[in-house]
Amino acid sequence: MIDLRSDTVTTPTPGMLAAMLAARVGDDVYGEDASANELEAKVAAFFGHEAAVFFPTGTMANQVAIRAHCDPGDEILAEATSHIVLWEAGGAAVHSGVSVRPFDGEWGLLKAEQLAGAIRPNDMHSVRTRLVVLENTHNRGGGTVYPIESVAAISQWARSHGLAMYLDGARLWNAIVASGIPGKEWGRHFDSIMVAFSKGLGAPSGSALVGPRPLMEKARRLRKLFGGAMRQIGYYAAACSYAMDHHVERLAEDHANARLLADAVASVPGFTLTPPNVQTNLVWFEVDARHGSAQSVVAKLRDQGIRVSALDGQTVRMCTHLNTSRADCARATDALRRFS
């Protein structure tokens, strides 16, 4: 079975398993896990920030970041289809008491001019606009990469108005490889960034939040409050460190494989790529009535040994990753073309 549902379905490579077995571990609550400490320093330096905190999941890191930047009653500005809006169970309201004001982007991407005039008035009747959240690459936007010029313009606008900038960079590694723009260049436009190791990089678990040291000290305290303090996490940290060393540049293979799948989708009448230009490892497409529903397409592909996701009634998503070879994707393209 070729599994194209997500880049979270991967299993550790032999090299990653060896790194996990060799990890130097201790009690992270006491700050004594050497592998975790080394990973946090490594990922912070990669993005040009002072410090980092390891998290078991990206969603927890996102929610802690929101709480670290905001107080109850504050407001976040975010794109309407971003992960924190669609797929985190209303966590911003539940955990932090903040509201999210959504803006419609183009394939998930905002422009600075959309935010002009968006800050609430400074009076007792209004929430306090506090944080801008971007997502790069943008999942629901089809794996689109933010143009660095747009990020810089939004960051300049936000900071000129005293707002903090946060990046949900679960798939930022993909953006780095697709754009050729290094981590430190992305990092300088944000007050804090989350990156995931369990998506394109193939680690079994783990994300990191990076930012200035005082903010990360607050985030570590909040991690405890949110139930995320752990003990011997070095086994996970070693897998994540190995992934940084060995699995970043190879993301270009996933991007090429995704374009192969996208070409097959585009050749089928009644399938529409959304967006039409596949930039990274995500392929989203809409299914029209001649093919039934998205679930119908998913079932027919599964009968041919291909697993993909139905995200709503007519929307299908495919995702290439560490465990999908070029041959696997060629086989999947053959299955897709049979819908013609």
**20 and 77 share a domain?**
yes
Identify whether residues 31 and 172 lie together within a single domain.
yes
Per-residue confidence in pLDDT tens, the chain, 340 aa:
999 999 999 999 999 999 999 999 999 999 999 999 999 999 999 999 999 999 999 999 999 999 999 999 999 999 999 999 999 999 999 999 999 999 999 999 999 999 999 999 888 889 999 999 999 999 999 999 999 999 999 999 999 999 999 999 999 999 999 999 999 999 999 999 999 999 999 999 999 999 999 999 999 999 999 999 899 999 999 999 999 999 999 999 999 999 999 999 999 999 999 999 999 999 999 999 999 999 999 999 999 999 999 998 999 999 999 999 999 999 999 999 999 8
Contact assessment for residue 318 and residue 2, using Cβ atoms and an 8 Å cutoff: no
- Residue-level pLDDT at 328: 98
Neighbours of 112 (CB within 10 A): 17
CATH number (domain holding residue 278): 3.90.1150.10
Both 125 and 170 in one domain: the answer is yes
Domain co-membership, 204 together with 327: no
Preceding omega of 214 cis (within 30 degrees of 0): no
Assigned domain for 7 exists? no
Q: How many Cα neighbours within 13 Å face the side chain of 63?
A: 24
Range of the domain at 293: 250-337
Are residue 312 and residue 165 in the same domain, yes or no?
no
Structural domain ending residue among the three candidates 185, 217, 245:
245
- Concatenating the DSSP letter of every residue in 248-277 gives STTHHHHHHHHHHHHHHHHTSTTEEESSSS
- Looking at the fold, whether 179 and 286 belong to one and the same domain comes out as no
Q: Do 161 and 267 belong to one domain?
A: no
CATH number of the domain within which 211 lies: 3.40.640.10
